[in-house]
A = this chain, B = another copy of it.
């Protein structure tokens, strides 16, 4: 039997079919073109599912389930996508829309950050791990939390918003309405803004050469200039690492998971980022003398994590 995973993003709908070893064996893709009516988006999703099944040469009798990772919040009891701002969704009866278009009854939905966490925990860096947290450093700071092998979804399926925990009381205003949320200091967006602030203060910095143009500053600019020995860039990187380590230490003091997996755009810095972060975390965590410690590792599945995790939602 095969399972289908769908990563429903703001830009693309990515469909993957996984085999019994949790490996993707067929793929298909459509543009999301949001916002448009949910019915049209689900038409294209079903079309991509058909294409992937044809590529693999299977029929719906070979498919055990379809899982979909979506932005926003899923109400599993009511079988709705309750809110998804960047899709323009408001109480969309997603389960039904997918069932009638595919003829497949077993459909599952969850938040996209949760699906990525499940994918990495089961089929990526965390294979065999029971207590696992995934942190995604992208536009925001996403997180998915697995305790005892199960996603923590909470009473309203909206748990795992570690990016919206305050680490700087009264700090930078966040879109969520609070001040000082972790994602205002540790997202790629935050790093880019910290980099630009330092460039304005330091016209002599090598960050200007690395970026070429101010408008081309990205999450790698400060890391690359720091490697060239630029002091202003080093400070940007060190400060960013300290904020990231703060949130990761918080996570460890709360959960003591087997593993924290760091993914997303900035996560691609891998050991360049994680080695210094690990040093700070190891000096900060509460259970500093415990025999067993949380491992902090890089994500391994890249963009496939969300598709694979969505396919695993039926477990």
Task: Tell me the A residues contacting B by CB distance below 8 Å.
Answer: 73, 75, 82-83, 131, 145, 147-148, 150, 152-162, 164-169, 171, 176-178, 180, 185, 243, 246, 249-250, 253-258, 283-284, 286-294
Q: Is the CB of A73 within 8 A of B287?
A: yes
Copies in the complex: 2
A250 CA to B287 CA, complexed, in Å: 21
A287 CA to B287 CA, complexed, in Å: 31
Main secondary structure of the interface of A (DSSP, over half): loop
Q: Is the CB of A256 within 8 A of B168?
A: no
A69 CB, nearest partner CB in chain B, Å: 18
A32 CA to B30 CA, complexed, in Å: 68
A155 CB, nearest partner CB in chain B, Å: 5
A-B contact pairs, 9 of them (CB 8 A): A145-B254, A148-B150, A155-B292, A155-B293, A162-B253, A165-B165, A166-B167, A166-B249, A169-B180
Q: Which residues from chain B contact A286 at a C-beta distance below 8 Å? A: 158, 161, 164, 176
Q: Is the CB of B289 within 8 A of A83?
A: yes
A294 CA to B284 CA, complexed, in Å: 30
Report the nearest B residue to A170, measured CB to CB: B168
A73 CA to B289 CA, complexed, in Å: 10
Q: Is the CB of B284 within 8 A of A178?
A: yes
